[in-house]
Amino acid sequence: MKTFLEFKGQSLPQDRYALIAGRWHQPIVDALIQGAQDALIHAGGQVSQMDLVRVPGSFEIPQAAQWVLQEKRHAGLILLGCIVQGDTPHFEVLTHSVMGAVQTLALQGSLPLTCGILTVHTLEQAEARARKDKNNKGWEAMFALLEMIQVKRNGSSAHGN
């Protein structure tokens, strides 16, 4: 099975991918989106294969993902957002709510789904995870999605390495 490093330069199937992204902390999320797009290009795909759905914030991402999953038009979904801890318990409540909903969707959904929603203590931590390099969490989420699509397509023959 290919890992994300082995996708470079290959021609990907003409799959469509959905990318659902919050607008809260938009500069961070925009950098994550760019990372996912760069990864798709690096893997041999084209940005035109990616449908971008913008939602107000991370709380709305799971609901939009559910709608996109029901359409059954995509090979998989990437979820991108940013939740930064503040001075109130809102961070914990929001993080647990969003990540619990994402996990439920992943387990109940019929399509591969990867999560690049940042949950960080500071904006500096978010910026470090959204840099224009291979540590960008949007980049990582795209390659995780490509690998999960491959696992799904290979079924039980995807054991090992």
- Give the residue numbers annotated as catalytic, written as ranges: 90
What's the burial of 17, exposed, middle or buried (CB within 10 Å: 0-12/13-18/19+)? buried
Quick one: CA dihedral 47, 58, 7, 69, positive or negative?
negative
Helices and strands (DSSP H and E) totals, the chain: 5, 4
Contact 18, 54 (CB under 8 A): no
**Selection from 129, 149, 150 nearest residue 139 by Cα:** 129
- Rounded Cα–Cα distance for residues 134 and 59 (Å): 26
Tell me the CA end-to-end span of the chain in Å, nearest whole number: 7
